[in-house]
Amino acid sequence: ARPLLQVDDLKKHFPIKAGFFGGTTGNVYAVDGVSFHVDKGETLSLVGESGCGKSTVGKTLLRLYHPTSGQVVLDGQRIDDLSESKLRPVRRRIGVVFQDPFSSLNPRMRVRDLLAEPIRNYGLAKNSAELDARLHKLMDTVRLPRDALGRFPHEFSGGQRQRICIARALAGEPELIICDEAVSALDVSVKAQIVNLLQDLQKELGLALLFISHDLAIVEHMTHRVAVMYLGKIVEIAPKRSLFAAPKHPYTEALLSAVPVPEPGMARQRVILKGDVPSPIKPPSGCRFHTRCPYVFDRCKTDEPRLQQTEPGQWAACHLHDLPAEQNPLRRGMAAAA
Ligand code: SF4
Ligand code: MG
């Protein structure tokens, strides 16, 4: 079956003006050739440190940014090059939930009006009875009482406000929801409730989720597959179990080493990366991770690794996989970190 969403070689570069003295201009290579798919009803998580481009991927898919190049196909229809007017019916099919439920809801609008707006925009209610029916259904779907419709955002807790944001994302009856750090600002217990709600909704409504997050502990709990981004590129993409059990990219291994494991005896060996993430204005040559990689060797500095399949469904962009198995420190997964 064809995937719900297919993204091919997506790039989003932001041109930068040179400083006061002029001279050169350049680009921020925020997203620099990213390919993945999301199946109907699936959760794909996009993970990586802040600034790796994961939010830019989400915003480019939503066409909040115009892509620099590449192709985005939703359910068989190419959407990256659509005009604003042709985008309208497409926007309905992709909902979005952002991190901060405090700033993403207009404080002067009642919940009823916050939700009625998209329903009307998408032409989903012909009269007020239909509108009411939809509003009630949305409240039921996100497990809020119907009388919440008459209240203002400030009257709710952070978790309840995120439920309102989810209701808004659902207003157009989307097939895909992009969650950009959707639970990151919430308290631990509330986080779990919202994650559980998203999982329930996924089952009830057959939703696909693109779950953008820096929090691998949450991701491990809720995703089907994971794509790891570093400096504008996907360095590894794999089913959750394979990735958490046996990462095939040194950067994934380092990220995972910081995630607590339930059984103390199972603790992963901590990999501390040296240095900071380099600037996306001038990414390193060859493998972009080579300035921080514990396993770097000569070839990494000049030759850019491509994603290659190392296990069924598991793809990693790393030259180690071209070495004989006994020389590849990632061959068994859990690092015998040097
Ligand atoms: Fe490290 Fe080289 Fe692999 Fe890049 S290609 S992740 S520098 S070993
Ligand atoms: Mg972000």
Report how far residue 319's alpha carbon sits from residue 229's, in angstroms, rounded to the nearest whole number: 17
- CA of 52 from ligand 2 middle (Å) equals 8
Q: Cα torsion for 36, 91, 49, 278, to the nearest 10°?
A: 80
Report how far residue 109's alpha carbon sits from residue 114's, in angstroms, rounded to the nearest whole number: 6
Q: Please answer whether residues 16 and 30 qualify as being in contact, where contact means their C-beta atoms are separated by less than 8 angstroms.
A: no
| Sheet with 5-16, edge to edge strand ranges | 26-38, 5-16, 69-74, 77-78
237 phi and psi, to 5 degrees?
-140, 130
Among 6, 12, 44, 48, CA closest to 234: 48
User: Which ligand sits nearest to residue 252's alpha carbon?
Assistant: 1
Per DSSP, 136 falls in state H
- CA of 272 from ligand 2 middle (Å) equals 22
Q: Residue 314 corresponds to which tokens in the numbers above?
A: 């598991």
Residue 331 CB coordination number (10 Å):
15
What pLDDT does 334 receive? 44
Residue 24 CB coordination number (10 Å):
9
Q: Residue 186 corresponds to which tokens in the numbers above?
A: 């919430």
Best substitution site from 253, 255, 296 to test ligand 1's pocket, by max atoms within 8 Å of Cβ? 296
- CA of 258 from ligand 1 middle (Å) equals 19
Best substitution site from 231, 236, 295 to test ligand 1's pocket, by max atoms within 8 Å of Cβ? 295
User: Which ligand sits nearest to residue 296's alpha carbon?
Assistant: 1
Model pTM score: 0.93
Half-sphere exposure for 324 (CA within 13 Å, toward CB): 2
Q: Cα torsion for 31, 320, 214, 166, to the nearest 10°?
A: 70
What pLDDT does 261 receive? 76
Amino acid identity at 216: L
- CA of 235 from ligand 1 middle (Å) equals 10
Q: Please answer whether residues 222 and 198 qualify as being in contact, where contact means their C-beta atoms are separated by less than 8 angstroms.
A: yes
Per DSSP, 259 falls in state S
Residue 241, C-beta contacts closer than 8 angstroms, at least 6 positions apart: none
Helix (H, G, I), strand (E, B) or coil at 50: coil
Best substitution site from 271, 277, 288, 293 to test ligand 1's pocket, by max atoms within 8 Å of Cβ? 293
- Tokens 């895909």 correspond to 176
Ligand 1 atom nearest to 301, measured from its CA: 7
Residues facing residue 44 across a β-bridge:
210, 225
Q: Please answer whether residues 72 and 156 qualify as being in contact, where contact means their C-beta atoms are separated by less than 8 angstroms.
A: no
- CA of 303 from ligand 1 middle (Å) equals 10
| Cα angle value 323/324/326 (rounded, 5°) | 115
Query: Integer distance in angstroms from the first to the last C-alpha of the chain?
Result: 43
Nearest-10 crossing angle of helices 158-170, 188-205 = 20
276 phi and psi, to 5 degrees?
-100, 170
- CA of 180 from ligand 2 middle (Å) equals 7
Q: Residue 119 corresponds to which tokens in the numbers above?
A: 């329903």
Ligand 1 atom nearest to 235, measured from its CA: 6
- CA of 138 from ligand 1 middle (Å) equals 47
Per DSSP, 312 falls in state T
Q: Residue 337 corresponds to which tokens in the numbers above?
A: 């970190």
| Ligand 1 residue neighbourhood (C-beta within 6 Å) | 250, 287, 289-290, 293, 295-296, 300, 305, 318-320
Tell me which residue has its CA closest to atom 3 in ligand 1: 318
Task: Supply the ipTM of this predicted assembly.
Answer: 0.96
Report how far residue 277's alpha carbon sits from residue 262's, in angstroms, rounded to the nearest whole number: 29
What string of pLDDT tens digits covers the 338 residues of the chain? Answer: 899 999 999 999 999 876 666 656 789 999 999 999 999 999 999 999 988 999 999 999 999 999 999 999 999 999 999 999 999 889 999 999 998 777 789 999 999 999 999 999 999 999 999 999 999 999 999 999 999 999 999 999 999 999 999 999 999 999 999 999 999 989 999 999 999 999 999 999 999 999 999 999 999 999 999 999 999 999 999 999 999 999 999 999 999 998 877 666 666 778 888 888 999 999 999 999 999 999 999 999 999 999 999 999 999 999 999 999 899 998 764 444 43
